[in-house]
Amino acid sequence: MANMSLKNVLRPGFVGRTFKSGYRFQRYWDTPMATAFFCGETGAGLFLTSMLLNFMPGIILGLLITGVGKTFFHLTHMGVPRKSWRAMLRPDRSWISRGLWGIIFFVGFGVVHVFGQLFGMVPDAFVMPVYWLAMAGAMMVVVYQGFAMSHSTAIALWSTGLMPVSSMLYGLLAGTSLVLALNAFGFPVAGESQLTMVGTVQTILVAAVLLTILSLLHGAKHGSKGAQQSYELLTKDFLSRPFLYGVIGIGTVLPLVILMFAPVNFITTLAAAGSIMFGFCLFRVLIFKAGVLDPILTPADIFGR
C-alpha cells in the first residue's frame, strides 16, 4: 500500500494498463530499439566524418557498427524478423521505410567504396557516384530515426522538430569523438590541421547537443499535458538522476569542460569520447522510457479545472 501511495505521488494521473482515462507510458520501443538507434546514428556519423577525412579505419568501423549492431538490435526487437523486408515497401509514407532504404544505400555503396579504395575494384567513372550515394545513405540513417519519432504525434515529447536535429548532432558528435579516439589508439588521421579541425568541430557539437537537450526540456515543460509529464519524469522523478547526471552532466558538461580547459593528450581524448558516448547511449534509452502517451481525455477535462 505504501508503495502504491508513493507511486501515485511521483506520477499522478498515470493509469497503467487499465481502461481509465489518464497517462500511459509507451512500451512499443524500449532498450533494444534505443540501442539500435544508437548504433545506427553512431556508425553513420563515424562514416560521414571519416569519409570527409578519407580515414579508412573509421569508414570500416562505421559500416560495421551500423550494418551489424543496428541490424542485430532491430532483429531482437521484431516479433517476426523474417517479415522485416516488408518495411521497404512504403518509402512514400513511412520514415522507417525510408530509413531502411538509407541503410541499404549506406552499407551497400559504403562497402563498394571500401573495396574500390583498398583493391581498385571500382572503375574510375563510378568512384564519385559510389562515394556520394554512400554519403547520402549515411546522412539518411543519421536523421531518419529522429523524423520517425517526431511523427509520433501521440507522444508529445517526441513530436518536435528537435528530434531529427538531436539525431544528426549526436551522430556527428559520436563520429568526431570516435575518430579522435581511434587516432589516440594509433590509427593516425592524415594531417595535423585536420586533427585540430576535428577537435574544434567536436567542441562545437557538444555545445550544440547541450543546447538542443535544454531546448527539448523547455518545449516539454511548456507543452501539452503528456509533454509536461515527460518533463517531470526526466527532471524530478525516477529518470531524473540518470538524465541530469548522466546525459547532461557526464554526457555534455564534463566533455565540454575537458575539451575547453584540459590539455589534449591520450587520457583527456579518451575521457571526452567515453563520456560523450555514455551520455548519448543513455539519452537514447531515457528518451524512450520518458515517452508518455497523451490521454484522449485529461483528468482536468473529466473533473474540471
pLDDT averaged over consecutive 10-residue blocks of the chain (305 residues)?
A: 40 57 70 89 96 95 91 64 58 67 89 93 91 94 88 85 94 97 91 89 97 95 88 91 96 97 95 97 93 66 43
The pLDDT, as a whole number, for residue 9 is 39
The 3-state DSSP class for residue 292 equals strand
The pLDDT, as a whole number, for residue 71 is 76
The pLDDT, as a whole number, for residue 217 is 95
The pLDDT, as a whole number, for residue 10 is 46
Residue type, 120: G
Separation between Cα atoms, residue 6 and residue 89, nearest integer Å: 47
Q: Within a 10 A sphere around the Cβ of 238, how many other Cβ atoms?
A: 12
Tell me how far the alpha carbon of residue 235 is from its chain's centroid. Answer: 20
Cβ(137)–Cβ(100) below 8 Å: no
DSSP classification of residue 24: E
Cβ(246)–Cβ(280) below 8 Å: no
The pLDDT, as a whole number, for residue 262 is 94
Separation between Cα atoms, residue 30 and residue 28, nearest integer Å: 7
Cβ(273)–Cβ(254) below 8 Å: no
The pLDDT, as a whole number, for residue 24 is 73
| Cell 579516439 belongs to residue | 181
| Cell 549506406 belongs to residue | 106
The pLDDT, as a whole number, for residue 97 is 73
Which residue, 11, 5, 6, 17, is CA-closest to 240? 11
The pLDDT, as a whole number, for residue 6 is 38
The pLDDT, as a whole number, for residue 237 is 86
Separation between Cα atoms, residue 237 and residue 214, nearest integer Å: 17
Q: Within a 10 A sphere around the Cβ of 166, how many other Cβ atoms?
A: 26
Separation between Cα atoms, residue 214 and residue 284, nearest integer Å: 15
Fold adopted by 13-297: Formate dehydrogenase/DMSO reductase fold (1.20.1630)
